[in-house]
A and B are shown apart, each in its own frame.
Chain A
Amino acid sequence: MFMIELVGIEKHFEGQVVVHPLSLTIKEGEFLTLLGPSGCGKTTILRMIAGFEQPSKGEILLAGEQVTELAPNQRDLNLVFQHYALFPHMTVEDNIAFGLKMKKMSLKEQKERIAEAVAMTQLTALTARYPHQLSGGQQQRVAIARAIANKPKVLLLDEPLGALDLQLRKNLQSELKHLQRTLGITFVYVTHDQEEAMMLSDRIVILNQGKVEQIGTPREIYAAPKTLFAATFVGENNVFSTPEGLFTVRPEKLRPVRGELEARKHGVIQDVLYLGNVHKLTVQLDNEPMTVTIALDFTDERPWQIGERIGVNWNQRDEVAIGS
């Protein structure tokens, strides 16, 4: 069953096209990510699903029902805002209770829902605090608890971890994934962080300048990007140009070779980056204005020197044609 159906939706703003015609179906329980750089239209799409923006054309269906014209408060979904948008004059508990109160839920049921939501987000000890008394990560948890307490059909998340530091992001990413699996709610997640998208999503929609570049599972997108943008936005990549068109080879698929061995390309090592589990060589190719990046894993213990001439090899099957 489809939880969300976007049928040819587009958004124009002051004569400019912000979102080009987009059709997309999202399955029940799916974790779908809208991934793209800032200004690619991903937040606008999310806000159209939430009901804060009206599509200029097209229809939005939620669980099979037409919601295009419905106001946000009449849609059975919830949004986690980028900057949390917690009500500053309410305690954590009142923030979480807000949606339940609006639904005129009985006090007993409210209590149960709140207890459940705070337990799931590890906020039980903090219910009496005000938002300004919480850290960024705790505020983020409150925003999520406030949304999931409503048991919505769909949870929309607009760069929910964007304002947090790296370590906290990593922790919350796995918490979010766990939460989504436990709840079984459909998640539509917006981010510009490709690593985050890869880690969390069942499917990723790559957007660029209001257009879909590719839709696919993380594996499909990494292994078989369809456009130049998709190939270079997600993960590192090397783009080679031939008279027939462009193809890419991932850094870990390239092999450096020493001596006068047969190699597809030759060049000079410009830089050696040691990153612990991998090290990377940047190689300036002969007769070509480009450098390639080669990623070597920890088993490679050969001492690569800057300025050294090497050959670069790869297998034909690791070439991914991406058109022009």
Chain B
Amino acid sequence: MKKKTHPLLGLHSLIMMIFIYVPILLIIVYSFNNTRLSGDWKGFTFDWYVSLMKDRHVMEALSNSLIVAVSSTIVATIFGTLAALALRNVSRKLRVSMNGLLYLPVIIPDIIMGLSLLVLFTQLHMPFGKITVIIAHITFSMSYVYVVVTARLTGMGRQLEEAASDLGASGWQTFRHVTLPQISPGIISGALIAFTMSLETSWSASSWLVQALLRFPYIYMVK
């Protein structure tokens, strides 16, 4: 059975796609343009890529960003998932307040988050570096994982786990064979969001300021 889509809806989608992807496409095309100034097409070149690869600072920034993103994603995914699982089995009151608390890092402006962590790390006399940035990224990306996994758990309900238990599965067996396979799409999308948020924060302007405040010794974007 094929569902009919309203023709205007298709047109709308097309326009939106153009709107979102054409600028990105243009950047890619112009990255091969043999001129310092964009605008006119002056011939094809790989020069820009060569000089990018040769730029030690940019490459270092990229590798640092990836290290931070991968490690913070792994930890945040585990912590966020565990938090979601744990808060399923507490009283409603505690769950609601913990929900609010865990959601806070998602809505709080990056700059305030950065400043508060700066104060904390200073108080703890922690040397600023990759570790502090990773911790900072875990604090907010964990919340995204928590929110996504919680939604998945809520959607799943209790019956499947009760059925497993009824069929003789222990707590661990139930988790391993039923809960985990059921929530894994949530865990994966949570991890993807965490990874994206970490990378984006590494490159975004506000974070650039925060990182500068943290005296993160890496140069971003522009030499």
Contact = CB atoms under 8 A, between A and B. Distances in A.
A81 interface: yes
A99 B162 contact: no
A79 interface: yes
Given A73-B170, A98-B177, A102-B173, A85 B165 contact: no
Nearest to B168: A102
Contact of B166 (A78, A83, A88, A89): A78
A50 B178 CA distance: 19
Given A88-B182, A98-B177, A78 B159 contact: no
B163 interface: yes
Contact of A146 (B159, B167, B173, B178): B167
> For chain A, which range describes its interface: under 10, 10 to 19, 20 to 34, or 35 or more residues?
20 to 34
B160 A87 contact: yes
B165 A72 contact: yes
A103 interface: yes
Contact of A81 (B163, B170, B173, B178): B163
A83 B162 CA distance: 12
A154 to B, nearest CB: 12
B181 interface: yes
B159 A85 contact: yes
Contacts of A79: 162-163, 166
Interface string B146-168: 00000000000001101111111
Contacts of A98: 164, 167, 169, 177
A87 B169 contact: no
A71 interface: yes
Nearest to A47: B162
Nearest to B182: A89
Nearest to A88: B182
A317 B182 CA distance: 61
A298 interface: no
Contacts of A99: 167-168
Contacts of A150: 167-168
A81 B168 contact: no
A150 B166 CA distance: 11
B138 to A, nearest CB: 30
Interface in A86-106: 86-89, 98-99, 102-103
Contacts of B164: 87, 98
A85 B173 contact: no
A52 interface: yes
B162 A78 contact: no
A102 B166 CA distance: 11
B169 A89 contact: no
Contacts of B160: 85, 87-88
Interface string A95-128: 0001100110000000000000000000000000
Contacts of A88: 160, 182
A52 B159 CA distance: 11
Point out which of B160, B165, B170, B182 has the most chain A C-beta atoms below 10 A from its C-beta.
B165
Nearest to A76: B168
B172 to A, nearest CB: 11
Interface in A188-222: none
Nearest to A50: B166
Interface string A57-82: 00000000000000111000011010
A98 B162 CA distance: 13
Interface in B165-212: 165-170, 173, 177-178, 181-182
A81 B162 contact: yes
Contacts of A71: 165
Contacts of A146: 167
A102 to B, nearest CB: 4
28 contacts: A50-B166, A52-B162, A72-B165, A73-B167, A73-B169, A73-B170, A79-B162, A79-B163, A81-B159, A81-B162, A81-B163, A83-B159, A85-B160, A85-B162, A85-B163, A87-B164, A87-B178, A88-B160, A88-B182, A89-B181, A89-B182, A98-B164, A98-B167, A98-B169, A99-B167, A102-B170, A103-B168, A146-B167
Nearest 9 CB-CB pairings of A with B = A99-B167, A85-B163, A102-B168, A85-B159, A72-B165, A89-B181, A102-B169, A79-B166, A73-B168
Interface of B: 159-160, 162-170, 173, 177-178, 181-182
Given A78-B167, A81-B162, 12 more contacts: A50-B166, A72-B162, A73-B167, A73-B168, A83-B159, A85-B163, A87-B178, A89-B181, A98-B169, A103-B168, A150-B167, A150-B168
